[in-house]
Amino acid sequence: MEGRVYRSAQRMFYCKLKGESDLVMATAKGNLLKGSDSVVVGDIVEIKEEDGQHYIVEVMERKSEIWRQIKRENKKKVTASNIDLLVIVSSAAKPKYKRGLVDRFLMRSAQWEIPAIHVFNKMDGYKEKDFDLAFEAKRLEMPKVDSFEVSAKEGEEYSPQVLKKGIKDLREQLSGKTAIFLGQSGVGKSSLINRLSGGEFELKTKEIGRAGKGTHTTTWSEILDFEDFTLIDSPGIRSFSLDDVYSEDLEFLFPDLLDLFLTCQFRNCDHGPEAKGCFYNGLTDPEQIKIIDSRLESYYKLRDEVSEIPDWKKKPH
């Protein structure tokens, strides 16, 4: 039987069998027991039943993985799999829009090779004088990220004013997909998910809350199924630490900038108006310059924050 892992706790996996709605509890068998992340939430698995017990006997190849590098152990730790879309949520009112934070999530999107979209929520409270939403959306076109403007509060009553895409388009984007919502606390992720799920999210999380989720561990993650989309909820994924990224690798996580960097005359270019032979010197459009400047700003800020490659990892000369 084919199933999908919806929740895991202490080596117990709650799986949804294809075509059924209740979860069955399964344990892993054989070599699947070895690694701590050989079975994770989101996995598509082959399940066998023996004497009324369910066993996971095989994990199908993963389409995508959410992972971090554990530095101490020098290995990759996977927390969830088979995610189709990252939904980065910002607030257009309070808390204030944080460009750098969006770029940080986009860095993970590049690292995990999972496409991202961006949502400006709380549009009912948006004031043009606070920030230039049209510019921010244009800027996000550089790393090829689509933006949507919505109000979780007003739902379908709110129609987009600045951009072309609103909640209807967002629903379309999500349709049939497994998504993860990212964004700082208070931007309205829960409210938006609740709105998109027609109120089901609140009901489901209350149900799980009663069962005592989160009392024993902070690393839980689970899947919630709604009529039209699937959600992976995992607080661990929201971690902001970049200690598992090395400065040497950062440009690969800014593919839009890397494309430009590769046209510079020197590979160790300092990128900017003063750098000899830099792509930057060929720019003429003031808006494009402004956009590139702001992406470069994020890039250099993150480069100051990520780890230097440790000596033992450097190739011997």
Pick one of ligand GDP, Mg ion, Zn ion, none as the site partner of residue 182 (Cβ within 5 to 8 A by kind).
none
Tell me the closest approach of the beta carbon of residue 198 to ligand GDP, in angstroms.
16
Pick one of ligand GDP, Mg ion, Zn ion, none as the site partner of residue 90 (Cβ within 5 to 8 A by kind).
none
In the bound state with ligand GDP, the residue whose beta carbon lies nearer, of 95 and 115, is: 95
Pick one of ligand GDP, Mg ion, Zn ion, none as the site partner of residue 278 (Cβ within 5 to 8 A by kind).
Zn ion
- Say if CB 76 and CB 162 are below 8 A apart: no
In the bound state with ligand GDP, the residue whose beta carbon lies nearer, of 121 and 298, is: 121
Out of 271, 291, 295, 302, the only residue in the binding site for Zn ion (CB under 5 A) is: 271
Tell me the closest approach of the beta carbon of residue 94 to ligand GDP, in angstroms.
8
Tell me the closest approach of the beta carbon of residue 30 to Mg ion, in angstroms.
38
* 278 near Zn ion, judged by CB under 5 A: yes
In the bound state with ligand GDP, the residue whose beta carbon lies nearer, of 40 and 192, is: 192
In the bound state with ligand GDP, the residue whose beta carbon lies nearer, of 80 and 182, is: 182
Out of 38, 190, 247, 307, the only residue in the binding site for ligand GDP (CB under 6 A) is: 190
- Say if CB 43 and CB 81 are below 8 A apart: yes
HEC states along the chain? Answer: CEEEEEEEECCEEEEEECCCCCEEEEEECHHHHCCCCCCCECCEEEEEEECCEEEEEEECCCCCEEEEEECCCCEEEEEEECCCEEEEEEECCCCCCCHHHHHHHHHHHHHHCCCEEEEEECHHHCCCCCCCHHHHHHHHCCCCCCEEECCCCCHHHCCCCCCCCCHHHHHHHHCCCEEEEECCCCCCHHHHHHHHCCCHHHHHHHHHHHCCCCCCCCCCCEEEECCCCEEEECHHHHCCCCCCCEHHHHHHHCHHHHHHHCCCCCCCCCCCCCCCCCHHHHCCCHHHHHHHHHHHHHHHHHHHHCECCCHHHCCCC
In the bound state with ligand GDP, the residue whose beta carbon lies nearer, of 117 and 292, is: 117
* 185 near ligand GDP, judged by CB under 6 A: yes
The whole-angstrom separation of Cα 295 and Cα 301 is 10
**Chain residue at closest Cβ approach to ligand GDP:** 188
* 264 near Zn ion, judged by CB under 5 A: yes
In the bound state with Zn ion, the residue whose beta carbon lies nearer, of 208 and 296, is: 296
For ligand GDP (CB under 6 A), the number of binding residues is 15
Tell me the closest approach of the beta carbon of residue 225 to ligand GDP, in angstroms.
19
* 277 near ligand GDP, judged by CB under 6 A: no
Residues at the site binding ligand GDP, with contacts judged by CB under 6 A: 121-122, 124-125, 151-153, 183, 185-191
Residues at the site binding Zn ion, with contacts judged by CB under 5 A: 264, 269, 271, 278
